[in-house]
Amino acid sequence: MTKNPMIEEAKKARLKAYTPYSKFKVGAALKTVDGDIYHGCNIENAAYSMCNCAERTALFSAYAQGIHAFESLTVIADTDRPVSPCGACRQVISELCEADMPIVLANLNGDTFLTSPKELLPGAFLSDDLKEE
């Protein structure tokens, strides 16, 4: 069986997670159209609302470097089924990624699910919905 290099990158990112409270580590690997890979991991805080998910960490890291064009996103966690992004991550992915960009959701057992931003959040609220006065 051939290993998917993006799943391997997401696994590396997962190992960087800071999860002293939940112990639930998530990793994300975001591939740019130029082939660069940005890692993201979840980062917890004692003030729980200040936590950040792996998907958003990867996207925010890329955006902070001026990168806005992505080829794919892969997310992995130790779950029974392929890990699913939370609602906040779905919203951010919908706004910052192309609607048809491939997203691979995975778990450590080797299960995967291929989806896209438009499938993760149909009817997403996007910048086009904001009206200028």
Residue 55 appears among annotated catalytic residues: yes
Known binding-site residues for Zn(2+) equal 53, 86, 89
Alpha-carbon distances of 16 from 82, 88, 99, rounded to whole Å: 19, 21, 28
Per CATH, which fold does 5-122 belong to?
Answer: Cytidine Deaminase; domain 2 (3.40.140)
pLDDT for the residue numbered 40: 98
CA gap 38, 81 in Å, rounded:
24
Q: What is the pLDDT of residues 22-61, one digit of tens each?
A: 999 999 999 999 999 999 999 999 998 899 999 999 999 9
**What six digits make up the tokens of 13?**
């990112």
| pTM beyond cutoff 0.75 | yes
Q: What is the 3-state secondary structure (H, E, C) of the chain?
A: CCCCHHHHHHHHHHCCCECCCCCCCEEEEEEECCCCEEEEECECCCCHHHCECHHHHHHHHHHHCCCCCEEEEEEEECCCCCCCCCHHHHHHHHHHCCCCCCEEEEECCCCEEEECHHHHCCCCCCHHHCCCC
Q: Domain spans of the chain?
A: 5-122
Q: What is the pLDDT of residues 2-27, one digit of tens each?
A: 689 999 999 999 999 999 999 999 99
Known binding-site residues equal 42-48, 53, 86, 89
Which is the catalytic residue, given 8, 9, 55, 95? 55
- The answer to whether residues 35 and 19 touch, using CB atoms and an 8 Å cutoff, is no
